[in-house]
Chains A and B, each alone.
Chain A
Amino acid sequence: MSHEGHYREAHPLIFVVTHWINLVCMIGLAFTGFYIHYPFFAGFMYGARAIHFLLMFVIIINLACRIILAFWVKTANQLGTRETDIDLKNWLPQKENKYQFMETVKYYTFFRNTRVISAKYGALQKIAYLATPIITLFMAYTGFALYTPAHSWAIWPFFAAGVSFFGGAMGIRIAHYFGMWVVILFTMVHAYLAAIDGFKPLWGLIFLWRETPGDEH
C-alpha cells in the first residue's frame, strides 16, 4: 500500500464517471465482440451486434468528452496532494518524465527497490494512457472498415485505404480482433498495477470516489 493520501482531486467526479463508462463499454464490447467472432451460444447475434454498435458510439463520445474535459478540469499534479493543475498537463508527458522512464522500468523489473517519484502518473503509465485513445480510435476505424453499410458512405475511401492496407476484408477483421487483445492486455496490466500499488485506496477512489488519507500528510 502506498503511503500517499488518495484525494478526490486526483480523480474528480466527472472522471470517475468517464472511467465507469469506459469500463462498462469495454466489458460489453469485448463480450459482444467475442460473441460476434464466434457465437458460443445460440440466439443472441442480433442483440450482440446492436449492443456492439451502441457501446462503440458511447465509448467514442465518452473519449471525445474526456479529451475536451482534459482542457478544462483541474486534477492533482502529484501523488498525495490537493494541489491541482489543468488535467491535460498531467496527462501528457512532462519534461522530466524522460529521466524517470528507465528508473521506473528498473523498479518494475526488480532492479531497484524504492518507488520512483513522478508526477500524478508515472512515465510508463503516461505512455499507456496516451495509447488508450489511439487504440480506441483504431478499433473504431477498423470496426467501421468492416461494417458493410459504411461502403455507401461518402467517407468510405478513408476506410477503404485501411482495408487495402491490411490486405482485404479478412485482414481488417483480424486487425480488429488483435486490437481487442491489445485492449485486454492493457486492462490486465492496468488492473494488476492498480491492485498491487494499493488496491483499497486506488480502486476506492476511482470507482467509489472515496478518499483515503496518507500516512505522512
Chain B
Amino acid sequence: MAQEARAEFTELLAARGVSRRDFLKYCGSVAALLGMSEMYAPQIAAAVGKLQPALWMAHGLCTGCTESMAQVDNPDVPTVVLDLLSVNYWETVMAAAGTQAEDNVAATVAAGGYVLIVEGSVMLGENGNVLRIGGKPGIEELKTVAAKAAAVIAVGSCAVDGGWVAGAPNIANATGVSKFLKDSGINVPVINLPTCPVNPEWVVAMLVDVLLMGELADGSILKKLDDMGRPKLIFGSTIHDNCPRRGHFENGEFVVFGSPTQAADEAAGWCLYQMGCKGPTTQTNCPLVRWNHRSSWCVEAGSPCIGCGNANPITGGPGNWFDASAPFLTRHADVRLPGIGGVQPSTIGAVVGGVAAVGLVAHGLGSAAKGRVKGVPTETQKVHDAKMASKGGDK
C-alpha cells in the first residue's frame, strides 16, 4: 500500500515537472522552516509521500485562505504536496458536487484517521443556521467531521477565534474551531494558524509536522504548540523583533502622516510605528517567512502591520485580531464603551485628565471663596469623640 502510494507520488511529481532533486530541495527548506536540520529532508520527503486523507471544510469564510493557498505558482512544490494530501473535500477547488461531494465526506469520516482543515469562522448564530452545509447547520457538520479526525488544523484567523467575523458587534455569533470543539466535548488536537489570510508555507509546515514521523501519534506535536494552540516556532516572537525596519525604530526614524518629508521617509524605509503599525503586539514570523512565494510581506511592501496574527482562541470572543487592532492607523485599538462605541484610549485619558484639572481649579476657587487657602480653623474635638461624650463617654 505504502509502496503503491510512493509510486503514485513520484509519478505525480514527474507529471507536474518536479524533479526528485527539486522535491528534496523543497523538503530541505521545510526542514529549515521547522527548525530542523536539512538532514531530515529525506524523512520529510517520505512523510509527505504517504497520501494522507484530508478534508478542507469551509465555514464562515471569504475564501481568502484558499486564495492564499492558490497564490503559489503552478506547478509549485507546495501545490503538489497539497494535491498529494488526497483532499477528499474542498468546496472551492473540488470537482465533485452535490451528493457525490457529501458522499466523499461521509466515506472519509467513516474511514477515520484524516486531517481536518477548517477555513472560516464557526457561526453559532440562529442555532447554527447562519451557515448551512449539506442541508444541515454548519456546526452539526463540523461536529460530525471533527469527531473522527486525527487532527484539526484551523487555517486563518476566522477558524482560529472567529477572526474579523467575530469583531464587534459579532451578530453572527462567530467563534473559533478550538473553542467550539472544546465546548462541544470533542477532544481532538487543534493546531491554530491565525493571520488573515493564512500563510500557505505554515500550512505545509504543519501538515508535514503532523505526518512527519508520527508526531501526532506520539503527541509530540502538541508540545510544539503554545497555550493558544499555535506552533511556537511560527508564532513565538513579535513581528517587531524581526522587522527589517527595526533599526529605524530604535533610531527614532518614523514615517509620519502629512509630514513634509513623508514621501522621502517612506522611500527610505523608515519605521511605520506612528502609522499605527501593530508589529509590536503581533506574534508571527511574517518578516522571516514572508508571503506570496516568499517575495514580500505587508511591512516590506510599505503598509503598517494591521495585527492579523493576533488571536484569542481560548475565549473565542473579544481579543480577535480585528477588535485587538482596529482602527488600523492608530497606535492603540479602540476601547468599546457601552452606549458610546469605540473610543481611543488617549481620548479617554485626555478627557479624564481635563475633567480632573477643571475640577481641581473649581475646587481651588471654592476653597479660596471659603477662605480656606488663608487658613481654616480645625475642629476642637473629633466628631466621633463628641458623639461618644454626648452618649456618656467612650469606654
Q: B-contacting residues of A (Cβ < 8 Å)?
A: 1-3, 37-39, 42-48, 96, 99-100, 103, 108, 110, 113-117, 146, 148, 151, 160, 164, 167-171, 173-174, 177-178, 180-181, 184-185, 188-189, 192, 196
The distance from the CB of B160 to the nearest CB of chain A, in whole angstroms, is: 13
Residues of B close to A167: CB separation below 8 A:
312, 318-319, 324
Residues of A close to B62: CB separation below 8 A:
none
B314 at the interface (CB under 8 A from A): yes
The 9 closest A-B pairs by CB, nearest first: A99-B384, A169-B281, A45-B252, A167-B319, A43-B252, A114-B379, A115-B378, A181-B349, A170-B324
Residues of B close to A115: CB separation below 8 A:
376-379
Residue of A nearest to B330 (CB): A38
Residues of B close to A164: CB separation below 8 A:
227, 314
Question: Is A171 a contact of B345 with CB atoms below 8 Å?
Answer: no
Question: Is B383 a contact of A103 with CB atoms below 8 Å?
Answer: yes
Task: Tell me if B's interface is mostly helix, strand, loop or mixed.
Answer: mixed
Residues of B close to A47: CB separation below 8 A:
252
Q: A-contacting residues of B (Cβ < 8 Å)?
A: 227, 236-238, 240-241, 249-254, 273-274, 278, 280-283, 307, 310, 312, 314, 318-319, 324-325, 331-333, 335, 345-346, 348-349, 352-353, 356-357, 360, 363-364, 366-367, 370, 372-379, 381-384
How far is A82 from B319 in the complex, measured between Cα atoms in Å?
55
Question: Is A169 a contact of B241 with CB atoms below 8 Å?
Answer: no
Question: Is A45 a contact of B319 with CB atoms below 8 Å?
Answer: no
Task: Tell me if A's interface is mostly helix, strand, loop or mixed.
Answer: helix
Question: Is A196 a contact of B310 with CB atoms below 8 Å?
Answer: no
Q: Beyond A45-B250, A117-B381, A196-B364, list 14 extra A-B contacts (CB 8 Å).
A: A45-B251, A45-B252, A100-B382, A100-B383, A115-B379, A116-B378, A148-B240, A167-B324, A169-B283, A169-B324, A177-B346, A178-B348, A192-B364, A196-B367
Question: Is B353 a contact of A189 with CB atoms below 8 Å?
Answer: no
Question: Is A192 a contact of B383 with CB atoms below 8 Å?
Answer: no
Question: Is A181 a contact of B360 with CB atoms below 8 Å?
Answer: no
Question: Is A100 a contact of B251 with CB atoms below 8 Å?
Answer: no
Question: Is A110 a contact of B382 with CB atoms below 8 Å?
Answer: no
The distance from the CB of A91 to the nearest CB of chain B, in whole angstroms, is: 20
Residue of A nearest to B325 (CB): A170
Identify 29 residue pairs between A and B in the complex whose beta-carbon atoms are under 8 Å apart, listed by A's number: A37-B346, A39-B252, A42-B254, A43-B251, A46-B252, A48-B252, A99-B382, A99-B384, A110-B370, A113-B370, A116-B382, A167-B312, A168-B281, A168-B319, A168-B324, A169-B281, A170-B310, A170-B325, A173-B332, A174-B332, A174-B335, A174-B345, A178-B345, A180-B349, A181-B353, A188-B360, A189-B356, A189-B360, A196-B372
Residues of A close to B345: CB separation below 8 A:
174, 177-178
Residues of A close to B252: CB separation below 8 A:
39, 42-48
Residues of A close to B314: CB separation below 8 A:
164
The distance from the CB of B346 to the nearest CB of chain A, in whole angstroms, is: 8
How far is A170 from B333 in the complex, measured between Cα atoms in Å?
7
Residue of B nearest to A45 (CB): B252
Residues of B close to A160: CB separation below 8 A:
227
Residues of A close to B384: CB separation below 8 A:
96, 99-100
Residue of A nearest to B367 (CB): A196
The distance from the CB of B192 to the nearest CB of chain A, in whole angstroms, is: 14
Residues of B close to A45: CB separation below 8 A:
249-252
How far is A188 from B252 in the complex, measured between Cα atoms in Å?
30
Question: Is A169 a contact of B282 with CB atoms below 8 Å?
Answer: yes
How far is A47 from B378 in the complex, measured between Cα atoms in Å?
49
Residues of B close to A3: CB separation below 8 A:
375, 378
Residues of A close to B372: CB separation below 8 A:
196
The distance from the CB of A210 to the nearest CB of chain B, in whole angstroms, is: 19
- In-complex Cβ contact of B307 among A146, A151, A170 (8 A): A170
- In-complex Cβ contact of B331 among A2, A38, A114 (8 A): A38
How far is A24 from B372 in the complex, measured between Cα atoms in Å?
30
Residue of B nearest to A3 (CB): B375
How far is A108 from B374 in the complex, measured between Cα atoms in Å?
16
Residues of B close to A46: CB separation below 8 A:
250-252
How far is A116 from B253 in the complex, measured between Cα atoms in Å?
55
Residue of A nearest to B349 (CB): A181
Question: Is B379 a contact of A116 with CB atoms below 8 Å?
Answer: yes
How far is A93 from B352 in the complex, measured between Cα atoms in Å?
28
Question: Is B373 a contact of A196 with CB atoms below 8 Å?
Answer: yes
The distance from the CB of B354 to the nearest CB of chain A, in whole angstroms, is: 11
How far is A170 from B306 in the complex, measured between Cα atoms in Å?
12
The distance from the CB of B252 to the nearest CB of chain A, in whole angstroms, is: 4
Residues of A close to B281: CB separation below 8 A:
146, 168-170, 173
Question: Is A171 a contact of B319 with CB atoms below 8 Å?
Answer: yes
How far is A184 from B274 in the complex, measured between Cα atoms in Å?
24
Question: Is B382 a contact of A117 with CB atoms below 8 Å?
Answer: yes
Residue of A nearest to B261 (CB): A42
- In-complex Cβ contact of B274 among A39, A103, A151, A192 (8 A): A39
